[in-house]
Amino acid sequence: MKLLTKLIPRNFNLDLAYFSFLALTICIFSGLILSFHYFPEKPLLSVVNLEATVPFGKFYRALHYFSAQMAVISLFLHLLDALRLKLFLVKSNRGWFFLGLSLPILLYLAFSGYILRGDETGELAGSIAENLTSSIPLLGKPISNLFFAISQVGVHRVYLWHLYFSFLLLTGLLLWHISLNRVFSYLKFFYLALLFLPALFFYPSLKPWGNLQARGPWFFVGAQSMLKFLDERFVFFYLLLFPFIYQAFVIWKKNPTPLFWILIAYLGLYLIFSLMGI
């Protein structure tokens, strides 16, 4: 831990937080533009049309995609670094609660974005999510119907939650976690460049299955790998565990060491499965 403190720059956590927020904001604004051209009853056609007919359509989609990926990565690192700095000792309970909740919400957004592309891999991801949620005893079907219901109504519900959760996340962060004054005082051109440049040079392609295999979004590869060997209900609960472990740091703030080890084991296992799936 001491070595980490020496290696990591002093303002690293704040930089991550700022970068993550900036990425999320850009993602939401680029998403707003995309939403004018997206029709959930024809998802794939909307995406293809957007790229073919809308001026800068391809760029907006790439910006939306890459800023979302950056937001996920930087938020995850921000969460981990907040633990390293033991910020649960100083942050308000509400602020910490929303920080812990922001990752699952953002992951749902990124995952639903993957489904909304409407290509073959997106369809498969949607089917997995729907069936995985449905496999939960008693509450599975209603939850699946609420958030997915793809086999019944296509991507309509996923699209609506994609919109609702984006604004919920942004509003929640602004109300309970971030100070806007601080954000504006921290504006760095370098971060903006880092978010815009990948969209200029790379393109998130619409792909069919490769080698008869479908992996899903990169952060879901571990879950896909787990599903090959473990019961789907176990995998579902495993995926839900992270925010609970994270919130537990506030409850056991006086003796957090066992929680650190639990979190390391939890993430380590997921990493192993992810590597197996690559």
The amino acid present at 273, given as its one-letter code, is F
What lies within 8 Å, CB to CB, of 208 at 6+ separation is: 119, 120, 121
C-alpha closest to that of 84 among 12, 21, 191: 12
Size of the site for another protein (CB under 8 A): 27
Pick from 68, 75, 128, 221: which binds another protein (CB under 8 A)?
A: 128
152 binds another protein (CB under 8 A): yes
Q: Does 149 bind another protein (CB under 8 A)?
A: yes
Question: Which 184-243 residues touch another protein, going by CB under 8 A?
Answer: 209, 212-214, 216, 224, 227-229, 232
Closest to another protein by CB, 19 vs 147, is 147
The SS3 assignment for 210 reads strand
Select from 104, 145, 176, 266 the one that contacts another protein (CB under 8 A).
Answer: 145
* Residue 264 vs residues 57, 67, 179, 211, 272: alpha-carbon distances, Å: 41, 27, 30, 33, 12
Question: Closest separation between CB of residue 85 and another protein, Å?
Answer: 38
| Length of the chain measured in residues | 278
Pick 13 or 133: Cβ nearer another protein: 133
Cβ closer to another protein: 169 or 227?
227
Phi, psi of 135 (to 5 degrees): -70, -10
Per CB under 8 A, 247 contacts another protein:
no
The C-alpha torsion from 195 through 198 and 200 to 205, rounded to 10°, is -130
In whole angstroms, what is the distance from residue 16 CA to residue 13 CA? 5
Task: Please tell me whether residue 146 binds another protein under the rule CB under 8 A.
Answer: yes
Residue 164 binds to another protein (criterion: CB under 8 A): no
Residues that bind another protein (CB under 8 A): 120, 123-124, 127-128, 130-132, 135, 142-143, 145-146, 149, 151-153, 209, 212-214, 216, 224, 227-229, 232
